[in-house]
Amino acid sequence: MEQNSLIEAKLSALMRKYSIPCVISLLVGALYNIVDQIFIANADYLGSYGNAANTVVFPLTVIALAIAVCIGDGCCTMVSSLLGAGNGKRAGRSVGNAVFLAVLSSAVLCAVYLILGDALVTLFGARVNEETYALSREYFFWIALGIPLYMFGQAMNPVIRADGSPRFAMASTLTGAILNMILDPVFIFVFKWGMMGAAVATVLGQAATAILAVWYLFHLKSVKLERGSFAPQAGVICRIISLGLCSFLSQISLVAAMAAINNMIRKYGRMDPVFGLEEYAQIPMAVVGIVMKFFQIVISIVVGMAAGCIPVVGYNMGAKRPERVRKLFTMLLVCEAAVGFAALLIVELFPKTLIGIFGAAQESAYYTAFAIRAFRIYLCMMVFACVNKATFIFLQAMGKAAASTMLSMVREIVFGVGFALLLPLFFSLDGVLYSMPVSDFLTAVISAVCIALTYRELRKAEKVDSAHGSDLFPPDKTGTTKDL
Side-chain-side CA neighbours of 457 within 13 Å: the count stands at: 15
Task: Flag whether 355 is in a domain.
Answer: yes
Q: What is the pLDDT of residue 361?
A: 67
Task: Flag whether 321 is in a domain.
Answer: yes
Q: What is the pLDDT of residue 224?
A: 84
Contact 318, 82 (CB under 8 A): yes
Question: Measuring CA to CA, how many Å separate 365 from each of 54, 280, 368?
Answer: 21, 11, 5
C-beta contacts of 8-16 below 8 A and 24+ residues apart: 11/312, 11/324, 11/327, 11/328, 11/331, 12/331, 14/312, 14/328, 15/305, 15/308, 15/309, 15/312, 15/328, 15/331, 15/332, 15/335
Q: What is the pLDDT of residue 481?
A: 39
57 Cβ neighbours under 8 A, 6+ residues apart: 121, 124, 136, 139, 140, 143
Buried b (16+ CB within 10 A) or exposed e, 254-266: bbbbbbbbbbbbb
d(CA 424, CA 369): 19
> Which phi-psi region, left, alpha or beta, contains residue 86 (left: φ > 0; alpha: ψ -120 to 50)?
left
Contact 58, 289 (CB under 8 A): yes
Closest by CA position to 389, among listed 404, 400, 403, 377: 404
Strand partners, 164: none
Task: Flag whether 477 is in a domain.
Answer: no
* Tens-level pLDDT at each residue, the chain (484 residues): 455 677 878 888 888 888 888 788 778 767 776 888 889 888 888 888 898 898 899 889 989 999 999 999 899 889 988 887 778 788 999 999 999 999 999 999 999 999 999 999 999 989 988 999 999 999 999 999 999 999 999 999 989 988 888 889 889 988 998 999 999 999 999 999 999 999 999 999 999 999 999 999 999 988 888 888 899 999 999 999 988 887 787 677 778 888 899 889 989 998 999 999 888 888 998 899 889 888 988 988 998 899 888 888 878 887 788 889 999 999 999 999 999 999 999 999 999 898 888 776 677 889 899 999 999 999 999 999 999 999 988 887 887 878 887 888 898 889 999 999 999 999 999 999 999 999 999 999 999 999 999 999 988 888 874 545 444 444 444 333 333 3
The pTM of the full predicted model, rounded to 2 decimals, is 0.76
Q: What is the pLDDT of residue 3?
A: 54
Q: What is the pLDDT of residue 4?
A: 61
Task: Flag whether 448 is in a domain.
Answer: yes
d(CA 378, CA 167): 34
Task: Flag whether 468 is in a domain.
Answer: no
| Domain enclosing residue 209, as ranges | 8-463
Closest by CA position to 128, among listed 36, 35, 50: 50
Task: Flag whether 3 is in a domain.
Answer: no
Instruction: Work out the widest C-alpha separation in the chain, in whole angstroms.
Output: 73
Task: Flag whether 476 is in a domain.
Answer: no
Residue 385: phi and psi, rounded to 5, are: -60, -40
Contact 188, 43 (CB under 8 A): yes
Q: How many domains does the chain have?
A: 1
Task: Flag whether 479 is in a domain.
Answer: no
Q: What is the pLDDT of residue 223?
A: 87
Residue 43: phi and psi, rounded to 5, are: -90, 115
